[in-house]
């Protein structure tokens, strides 16, 4: 529209100029005006082509997702300011970035974007300010097919943003986060809005941020028997209550031992299932080492279930991994009574998932890889994939995301040929 107005204005200017000064117009003047008008027309049609393309893709996404399972997410969103550097600076250094990108971020925003790209009908609740960053966050989510109609937009304050320094030498990222203000509070969501947001939802996801409001939504989801998955990234306020409400838990590598004080990760998973009777499975992500999952099971004849030390069983499963295979795989145990010394035992199945061995030349940035993994887990639960396929699929989605700068640039769509071997 701006292009039309500017083009029309130039035409009017040219005509007016011509009528006033016809005798002084020469060929070079006409060429300059015509060139200026032509450039504006080109910019206009280029802009319209991009706009129509975005609208078409958004409409196609909405149409294809209308019959898909609905997942509701609540948690953090932000603007990520990503700077790639040759190596992480020392204190008081001045260095140049090798590349720069600005895009949406935040655990919930990334995970729900991934779920939407994989084909789920994704709804997200969070809060931004009515500033440039907040408007950008909403627009980017909408273009990826995420329903942002339940967002709260404050007319004052600032939207969350994060500085991300990506170290090319170590392939690590350092995040410096600035929270949004004012924070979201329970009164920001009316009962009618909450009812609409949960209508038809198959699975609810929380990253345990903005916990006071999140718990209001989680309790209502629980009352409606909507399963809950939480991203237990670290010890946060409200985490304990969320763990007791949850059906599925995905943890970072250090969380299980930090929460249970168990001596090993496998024994910590046993402790978590013993302390959290509602939880069906716990997954701990281990970066390049893949993941470990403990699923609660009820054997047909509990007395016949073999008993085994959980740490020993992990070592047995490791011996079965084909280290020559670069693609993600998953090895599982039989239903077993898993014992953790000094903690107790639980009947379940243990799954050891591997990560893709990404060539050094293809590994760009691990920012948001855990969120991509969770987005794929959300998809797998909603589409009822068995655990063996779920873990390998999620690992592949996470690996694909590591091949581009930022948490969202590399997130694949379900039609990505790299996912085809994991969808059978």
Instruction: List, for residues 313-336, the tens digit of each pLDDT value.
Output: 999 999 999 989 999 999 999 999
CA torsion sign for 125, 126, 127, 130 is negative
Over 80: is that where the pLDDT of 364 sits? yes
Query: Measured between alpha carbons, how far is 321 from 308 in angstroms, rounded to an integer?
Result: 20
Percent of the chain surpassing pLDDT 90: 81
Burial of 42 (0-12, 13-18, 19+ CB in 10 A): exposed
Average pLDDT over residues 343-357: 97
Instruction: List, for residues 233-282, the tens digit of each pLDDT value.
Output: 999 999 999 999 999 999 999 999 999 999 999 999 999 999 999 999 99
Report field, pTM of the whole predicted structure over 0.85: no
Tokens 């993600």, residue located: 328
Instruction: List, for residues 44-103, the tens digit of each pLDDT value.
Output: 333 433 443 444 444 444 445 568 999 999 999 999 999 999 999 999 999 999 999 999
């Amino acid at each position: 529209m701006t292009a039309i107005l500017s083009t029309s204005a130039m035409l009017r200017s040219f005509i007016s100029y011509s009528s006033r000064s016809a005798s002084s117009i020469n060929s070079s003047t006409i060429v300059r005006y015509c060139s200026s008008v032509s450039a504006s027309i080109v910019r206009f049609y280029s802009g319209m082509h991009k706009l129509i393309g975005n609208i078409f893709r958004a409409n196609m996404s909405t149409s294809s997702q209308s019959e898909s399972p609905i997942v509701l997410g609540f948690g953090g969103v932000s603007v990520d300011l990503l700077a790639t550097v040759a190596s992480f600076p020392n204190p008081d250094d001045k260095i140049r970035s090798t590349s720069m990108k600005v895009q949406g971020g935040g655990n919930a925003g990334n995970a729900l974007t991934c779920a939407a790209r994989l084909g789920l009908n994704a709804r997200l609740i969070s809060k931004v300010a009515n500033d440039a960053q907040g408007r950008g966050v909403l627009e980017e989510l909408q273009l990826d097919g995420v329903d942002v109609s339940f967002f709260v937009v404050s007319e004052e304050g600032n939207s969350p943003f994060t500085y991300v320094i990506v170290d090319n030498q170590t392939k690590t990222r350092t995040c410096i986060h600035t929270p949004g203000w004012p924070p979201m509070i329970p009164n920001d969501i009316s009962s009618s809005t909450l009812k609409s947001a949960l209508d038809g939802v198959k699975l609810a996801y929380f990253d345990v941020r903005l916990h006071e409001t999140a718990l209001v939504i989680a309790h209502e989801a629980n009352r409606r028997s909507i399963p809950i998955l939480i991203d237990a990234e670290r010890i946060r306020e409200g985490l304990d209550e969320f763990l007791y409400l949850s059906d599925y838990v995905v943890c970072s590598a250090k969380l299980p031992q930090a929460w249970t004080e168990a001596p090993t990760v496998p024994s910590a998973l046993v402790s978590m299932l013993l302390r959290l009777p509602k939880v069906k499975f716990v997954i701990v992500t281990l970066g390049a080492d893949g993941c470990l999952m403990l699923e609660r099971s009820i054997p047909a004849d509990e007395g016949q279930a073999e008993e085994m030390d959980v740490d020993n069983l992990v070592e047995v499963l490791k011996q079965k991994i084909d280290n020559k295979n670069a693609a993600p795989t998953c090895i599982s145990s039989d239903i077993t009574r898993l014992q953790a010394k000094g903690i107790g035992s639980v009947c379940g199945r243990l799954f050891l998932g591997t990560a893709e061995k990404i060539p050094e030349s293809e590994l760009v940035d691990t920012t948001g890889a855990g969120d991509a993994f969770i987005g794929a887990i959300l998809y797998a639960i909603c589409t009822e994939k068995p655990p063996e396929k779920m873990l390998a699929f999620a690992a592949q989605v996470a690996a694909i995301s590591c091949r581009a700068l930022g948490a969202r640039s590399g997130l694949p769509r379900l039609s990505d040929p790299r996912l085809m071997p994991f969808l059978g």
